[in-house]
Amino acid sequence: MAQTMRAALVREFGRPLVLEDLPIPSPGPGELLVRIAASGVCHTDLHAADGDWAVKPALPFIPGHEGAGVVAAVGAGVTAFREGDRVGIPWLHDACGACEYCTSGWETLCARQRTTGYLVNGTFAEYCLGTAAFVAALPGQVAFADIAPVLCAGVTTYKAIRETEAVAGQWLALIGVGGLGHVALQYARALGLQVVALDVGAAKLELARALGAEAVVDAAAPDAARQVLKLTGGGAHGVLVTAAAAAAFSQALRLVRRRGTVVFVGLPPGNFETRILDVVLKRITIRGSIVGTRRDLAEALAFAADGRIRTHVRRAPLAEVNAVLGDLRAGRIEGRVVLELP
């Protein structure tokens, strides 16, 4: 095995990533060294590279948390994987395993969790370390580039749909048919939900139709909420917001029916307006949803393994990472971009 690897590093927030040759890390106890074949690009990678959030990564660091590849080396004590296994490295790198959240199946809320491509080096590199207990086994029949986005976009939206508590036959209003939303729509259909999709672009609404949405609505139309209420017979049972726009959050509360649940996934800056009277009188539940647990990830991958979820990806080499992030920043990406490594 080579002694160095090609990686894309953030050396300064808000500046282009730097491609460098770095030493290949060695797995410690409980770790795997994974040879990355494909890494999805998530909006969170852009936030990390720009240093947008209050808790910032320590510079320099390697972004990326949708890494799919094969095990190249196994650390001491690892028995669940061996060299050559197909695996995925997700956002949740590890958690403490002992707090009230870890012991109750909510490790994604662990205060001592570490996240891939943010608090530890990520998958925009030829090799990456993963914690064996949190690395996912990947199905053999799906290409790495196709399965990589499920490691974040897939599990995030699958979990969020579950959080709406909508059941088969009920209505889900989906606001945003982008990198997350186009996957969410497929999971919703696979779970038996009826979907009305909202977005501001004709191409994205057409994609929603192609993916099986029962109805599509221009989110910018003055009567968008009225259209949804009429289509769904009084409002959606669940509303999922994947759009990173504050206006979408306010709009969501106008689409939900009495006793319905609104789930937020998108992360726009700032705040949004909430009519407290509507929330109280209609008994509306408002929830945030963050990624998904290891069990959620296994379930999300199972849908992809049997062909019910197909991510729309554009492939690009690692050398084009800055162009990809520029397109993401400008809103020019439909579906998901996956960086392929030789």
The model carries a pTM of 0.95
Can you name the residues that pair with 216 across neighbouring β-strands? 197
pLDDT the model gives residue 270: 80
In this prediction, residue 1 has a pLDDT band, given cuts at 50, 70 and 90, of low
Residue 136 and residue 297 in contact, taking contact as beta carbons nearer than 8 Å: yes
- Look at residue 193 and give its three-state secondary structure: coil
What is d(CA 301, CA 97) in angstroms, rounded to the nearest whole number?
A: 23
| pLDDT over threshold 80, residue 154 | yes
**Cα(342)–Cα(319) distance, integer angstroms:** 11
Region 32-52: mean pLDDT is 96
- Interatomic CA distance for residues 82 and 79, integer angstroms: 7
Q: For residue range 69-104, what is the model confidence (pLDDT) as tens digits?
A: 999 999 999 999 999 999 999 999 999 999 999 999
Question: Looking at the predicted structure, is the pLDDT value of residue 220 above 70?
Answer: yes
Q: Is the pLDDT of residue 2 over 80?
A: no
pLDDT over threshold 90, residue 191: yes
Question: How many other C-beta atoms are found inside a 10 Å radius of the C-beta of residue 58?
Answer: 8
CA–CA gap between residue 164 and residue 255 (Å, rounded) = 13
pLDDT tens figures, 253-290? 999 999 999 999 988 878 888 989 999 999 999 999 99
Beta bridge partners of 337: 41, 314
Q: Tokens for 257, please give them.
A: 């029916």
Residue 342 makes CB contacts below 8 A (sequence gap 6+) with 126, 317
Among the listed residues 33, 70, 42, 62, the one whose alpha carbon sits nearest the alpha carbon of residue 124: 62
The pLDDT tens digits of the residues spanning 224-234 come to 999 999 999 99
DSSP secondary structure string for all residues of 232-283: TTSSEEEEEE----HHHHHHHHHHEEEEEEEEE----SS-----HHHHHHTT
- 3-state DSSP helix/strand/coil % of the chain, to nearest 5: 30, 30, 40
Angle between helical axes of 181-190 and 153-164 (0-180°, round to 10)? 50
* Cα 250 to Cα 273: distance, rounded to the nearest angstrom: 6
Q: Which of 43-47, 95-99, 236-240 has the lowest mean pLDDT?
A: 43-47
Would you list the domain boundaries of the chain?
4-152+292-340, 154-288
What average pLDDT does the segment 291-313 reach? 95
Rounded average pLDDT over 19-48: 97
Average pLDDT over residues 137-150: 96
Task: Specify the pLDDT at position 129.
Answer: 98
Mean pLDDT of all residues in 121-132: 98
The secondary structure of 194-213 as a DSSP string is EEEEEES-HHHHHHHHHTT-
Q: How far apart are CA 103 and CA 110, in angstroms?
A: 10
Alpha-carbon dihedral angle through residues 302, 324, 124, 20, given to the nearest 10 degrees: 170
Q: Which CATH superfamily is domain 4-152+292-340 in?
A: Medium-chain alcohol dehydrogenases, catalytic domain (3.90.180.10)
- Average pLDDT of the residues of the chain: 96
Residue 332 pLDDT class (50, 70, 90 cuts)? confident
CATH code 3.40.50.620 for 154-288: no
